Amino acid sequence: MKILVADLEGVFLPEIWINVAKKTGIEELKLTTRDISDYDVLMTKRLSILDEHNLTLKDIQDVIAGLDPLDGAKEMLDWIRKRTQIIILSDTFEEFAGPLMEKLGFPALLCHNLTVDATNRIIGYNLRIDNQKARAVKALQGLNYHVIAFGDSYNDTGMILSADQGFFFKPPESITKDFPDIPITRSYDELQVMLTTLLAN
C-alpha cells in the first residue's frame, strides 16, 4: 500500500513567518527553513525577535486569520485524497496551523506546539519528537507502507531521503544545488503528473 507525506507551508499554505514579517515590518522574521537548515537555531532566533518586539501569540494568529491556502492547494489535496491517503508532516505549530486546516478540508496534520505564558507571550516551543518527519516516514514503512514524500525546504530532506520515493515541490535554488539528485516539481500540474506516475507503478 502507498501513502503520501508532505510538507505544509510552501506546498499548500503560504509561509506563515514571512507573512508575519510583512505585517509587522520585521525583516528578520522572513527567515525560514529555506534559509536556515538548523530548526532550533531558527526558532530560538524567532522567539527572541518576538520577545524584543513584544509580539504575542494573538498578534501572530491575527495575521494567520487573514491568510488563505495557496491558489489551487485545496483542489490539489482533494485530487490526492480521491486517490490515496496523505499525512501532512510540518514543523509548524498547532496554535498556528489549526485555523487554516478547515480551509484545506482538515487533512491529517502532525506538527508541534508552543508554550505560552499568562500574558499570551510565546516563551518556548515543544517538538513533538526530534527529526519527526524522517521518523514518521520510518514508522509508516514499519507498518508496511510504501511512502512517497515531498516538500520544499531543508527540513524536508530527511523525509524525502528516507521515503521509498521522494521529490521537491517548488524548492529554492539553494536547496536544489545542495541536493541535485532529488527530482523536482514546480507546479500543481507537475505534481499531479509526478504522483500519477508514482501511484501507478
Binding positions for substrate: 15, 46, 90-91, 133, 155
User: Which element (helix H / strand E) includes 176?
Assistant: helix 173-178
Cα 171 from Cα 157, distance rounded (Å): 11
Given 9, 38, 156, 178, the catalytic residue:
9
User: Which element (helix H / strand E) includes 169?
Assistant: strand 165-169
Active site residue 7: yes
Q: Is 113 exposed, middle or buried (0-12, 13-18, 19+ CB in 10 A)?
A: middle
CA distances from 77 to 5, 84, 115, 178, 192 (A): 12, 10, 30, 28, 10
> What's the distance, Cα to Cα, between the start and end of the chain in Å?
11
Size of the chain in residues: 201
Binding positions for Mg(2+): 7, 9, 152
C-alpha cell of residue 194:
509526478
Binding positions: 7, 9, 15, 46, 90-91, 133, 152, 155
Given 7, 62, 95, 178, the catalytic residue:
7
Which residues form the catalytic set? 7, 9
